[in-house]
Structures are given as structure tokens and as C-alpha cells.
Amino acid sequence: YRTRQLLVSLRRTLTISDQAEVRRWLSPQAAALFARMTPRDQQHSLDVLRRVQDTLPSQPALYAAALLHDVAKTAQPGQRIRLWHRVLVVILTAFWPAAVPKLASADPQSWRYPFFLHLHPPALGAQLAAAAGCDPLTIELIRHHQDKLTRAPANIFEQLLAALQAADDAS
């Protein structure tokens, strides 16, 4: 699964149509944030967007959240999760799950900061989305996109969240 994910991510670049889709759902400030993501993460986010569009039509806040849900992982130059971090996280999680939290440092200047990013992307992504002027619903969807629901959605927010999670899990 991870090998396929890596190979797919290495071969895609955004098309003009992809770029237009991003501009359709994001403000210029939020689109600039999206543009700072790695091409691999941009493509993943577009895949998530397409899945939620197929599931729930006419949900602009959800569509913006789909595009920005992983923004904290790579949109901050010098403070991003690189490929080698991701590989190391997968290996450590498989063989020594306690290692990643031990490696994590909240200091953005530390070489260990990417491990902190790995553990906290929803909260950090919500902060970035808020700073870019995103809709409050978009921000909350980003903030909670890794909080798995343990029951059927009870309201519209939980329905949108469930759709975002399903699309993210499928991509």
C-alpha cells in the first residue's frame, strides 16, 4: 500500500484544470497556502476533494477542508514532513510505536519538529487555515479530521466530517 502510494505521488503534477478547481474552492490566501504544499500532498488533497464532491454536492466548506486537511504537514518551508520522515515514521510505528512521540519536539527549529508535525497536523492545519481566513466550518473540519467518529453522525458537522474522513481514508 505505502509503495503504491509513493509511486503514484511521484508521477503527478497539477493540471490547469486542477489549479482551476483549487481556485474555485479556496480564497486567494488559502490557495497560496495550498500552493506551498508538496505536489504529492496537493494531489492527495485533490483526490480527497473529488471523493467528497461525489458524496456530498454543494458543500464549499467541506471542499475547502478537503484541499487543506493536511496543510500542516508540508506547507511551512523549513518545517515540513519530508519523505524520509514519513518512511521513518512508518518503520518506527511498525516496530517501536513509542519512538515517534519520543522523537517529537514542538520547537520549530529542531530537526525533530517534523515528528511533532506528524503527531499534530489537524490542530496546526486549523491554525494555518484560520490565518488564511478560511470559513469557521472549514477550520473545524480540518481540526477534527483525524477524530474518528464512534457512532453514526448526529448532525450536519458530523456528516461532513464522516465524508471527509472516508474520502481521506480511501486516498
Determine the Cα–Cα distance for residues 66 and 45; give it in Å rounded to an integer: 6
What does pLDDT average to over the chain? 87
Is residue 21 classed as helix, strand or coil in its secondary structure? helix
Q: What is the pLDDT of residues 100-126, one digit of tens each?
A: 889 888 888 888 887 888 888 899 899
User: pTM, whole model, 2 decimals?
Assistant: 0.81
In b/e form, how buried is each residue of 99-136, taking b as 16+ CB within 10 angstroms? ebeebbeeeeeeeebbbbbbeebbebbbebbbebebbe
**For residue 10, what pLDDT is reported?**
58
**For residue 154, what pLDDT is reported?**
95
Q: What is the pLDDT of residues 32-80, one digit of tens each?
A: 999 988 888 899 999 999 999 999 999 999 999 999 999 988 766 666 6
pLDDT: which is higher, 76 or 150: 150
The contacts of residue 44 (CB under 8 Å, 6+ apart) are 9, 70, 171
**For residue 115, what pLDDT is reported?**
81
**For residue 106, what pLDDT is reported?**
83
Determine the Cα–Cα distance for residues 34 and 159; give it in Å rounded to an integer: 24
pLDDT: which is higher, 86 or 141: 141
**For residue 12, what pLDDT is reported?**
63
**For residue 4, what pLDDT is reported?**
59
155 pLDDT above the threshold of 90: yes
H or E element at residue 123: helix 121-131
